[in-house]
Amino acid sequence: MFDRLEIRVLPPGPRFAAQLRFWVNGEDVVEGAVDAGGRGPFAADALPTGRPSPLQATSEARRVELGEPECTGGCCGFLSVVVQRFGDIVQWSDWEVPYALAATPPEFHFDARQYDTELARAEADRCWQVHT
């Protein structure tokens, strides 16, 4: 059975631009690994316009930052994962968690079609962009 990914965009706030949260099987992976005060990557960085998202899964393994604690990644480290496609499977593995935070997520395996569809949906929904 495959894991199921949902990408949510949190609207911009007083301290941060719009950011992403990654829900896998109904659980917020970022909050689970960096606590409630942490944040996910900025939506503009993870869902860029005019170039592929770093979340795009290819046969080449790539490490992607998914979050950081409230004190910032420069202080305690970032939550990151290796994203790689193996045929019809997208794998998230080899997690790195911020210093002193013990909640390391498990390895996830997504159906590549569901993963690609969810990423495309998140990339197409630009409602988080603030136009001045």
User: Which tens digits make up the pLDDT trace of 4-33?
Assistant: 999 998 887 777 788 899 999 999 998 888
Contacts of 13 (CB under 8 A, 6+ apart): none
pLDDT at residue number 132 = 45
Q: In the chain, what percentage of residues exceed pLDDT 70?
A: 88
- Name the band, by pLDDT with cuts 50, 70 and 90, for residue 34: confident
pLDDT at residue number 50 = 86
* CA distances for 93 relative to 51, 80, 84, 109, angstroms: 24, 9, 8, 9
What average pLDDT score do residues 124-131 get? 72
Q: pTM of the entire structure? A: 0.88
